[in-house]
């Protein structure tokens, strides 16, 4: 009986590995070239909750673009909401909100938009399913985990779309950084002034010593006469 029980356990383990291992590998392959690009605000609790989720579950596949602290993020997000979601997909102004996440796939054949999700969904399986989906000419737009709209986007338009609306702005210098730079400049200027002063003093000192020596020499000649 013990042998039969052991064989049964081994059968279950083997079956589980054979069934789920390909799924795990496929999921890993999907995530290797997929990015979750979140448009949000730093003061929005839902945005921060989703941000924490992405950082915990997909830290290597995630980017946060804050529209309240970065002018470039705000400008591009506004164009995306107005031109694409409202203009092409038919959403109303009341439908627009943050967080809004774009699921992007990048590979050798090109860059593609897989989905747009409005809301803070914190289910790993939901995002991995989107990551493993195939590029399409009709991009699903989700409100939460429910598909509500479609964004028409032909295969040839995907790369241009991503180049236009997906940006990675470099943080601008803060006041503290600027203060440090100003302090450094003042310090360098002070050092240069000190060096210049010492150089001038050395030159003048040498001239004065040389002139004094010449005067002493003249006096000695006069005294001899």
pLDDT given at position 4: 59
Name the helix (H) or strand (E) containing 160. Answer: helix 158-165
Total-model pTM: 0.66
SS (H, E, C) 99-131: CEEEEEEEECCEEEEEEEEECCCCCHHHHHHHH
pLDDT for 62-118, tens place per residue? 999 999 999 999 999 999 999 999 999 999 999 999 999 999 999 888 999 999 999
CATH of the domain at 50: 3.40.30.10
Q: Do 136 and 48 share a structural domain?
A: yes
As given in the structure block, the two tokens for residue 127 are 């995002």
pLDDT given at position 3: 66
CA distance 64 to 73: 10
In Å, how far from its chain's centre is CA 211? 67
pLDDT given at position 182: 42
Domain count, the chain: 2
pLDDT for 41-53, tens place per residue? 999 999 999 999 9
Q: Do 147 and 49 share a structural domain?
A: yes
CB-CB neighbours of 109 under 10 Å: 10
Start-to-end C-alpha separation, the chain? 136
CA distance 19 to 42: 42
> With bands split at pLDDT 50, 70 and 90, how would you rate the model's confidence at 6?
low
Query: Chain-wide mean pLDDT for the chain?
Result: 79
Domain annotation covers residue 215 = yes
| Alpha helices (H) in 1-145, listed in sequence order | 2-31, 45-57, 71-79, 124-131
Q: Do 103 and 68 share a structural domain?
A: yes
Q: Do 91 and 115 share a structural domain?
A: yes
Comparing CA positions, the residue from 177, 112, 162 lying closest to residue 138 is: 112
pLDDT for 120-143, tens place per residue? 999 999 999 999 999 999 999 999
Domain annotation covers residue 138 = yes
Domain annotation covers residue 16 = no
Q: Do 188 and 117 share a structural domain?
A: no
Which residues form the domain of 104?
33-165
Name residues whose C-beta falls within 8 Å of residue 148's C-beta, 6 or more positions apart in sequence.
141, 142
Name residues whose C-beta falls within 8 Å of residue 13's C-beta, 6 or more positions apart in sequence.
none
pLDDT given at position 200: 52
CA distance 85 to 33: 25
């Amino acid at each position: 009986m013990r042998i039969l029980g052991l064989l049964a356990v081994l059968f279950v383990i083997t079956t589980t590995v054979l069934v789920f291992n390909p799924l795990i590998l496929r999921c890993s392959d999907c995530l290797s070239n997929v990015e979750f690009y979140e448009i949000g605000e730093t003061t929005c609790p839902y945005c921060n909750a989703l941000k924490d989720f992405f950082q915990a579950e997909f830290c290597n596949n995630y980017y946060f673009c804050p529209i309240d602290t970065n002018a470039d993020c705000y400008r591009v997000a506004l164009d995306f909401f107005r031109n694409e979601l409202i203009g092409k997909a038919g959403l109303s102004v009341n439908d627009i909100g943050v967080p809004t996440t774009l699921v992007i796939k990048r590979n050798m054949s090109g860059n593609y938009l897989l989905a747009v999700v409005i809301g803070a969904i914190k289910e790993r399986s939901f995002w991995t399913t989107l990551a493993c989906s195939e590029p399409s000419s009709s991009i699903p737009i989700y409100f939460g985990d429910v598909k509500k709209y479609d964004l028409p986007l032909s295969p040839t338009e995907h790369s241009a779309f991503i180049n236009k609306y997906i940006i990675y702005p470099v943080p601008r210098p803060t006041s503290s950084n600027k203060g440090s730079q100003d302090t450094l400049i003042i310090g360098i200027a002070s050092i240069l002034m000190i060096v210049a002063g010492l150089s001038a003093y050395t030159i003048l000192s040498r001239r004065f010593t040389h002139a004094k020596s010449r005067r002493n020499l003249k006096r000695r000649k006069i005294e001899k006469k």
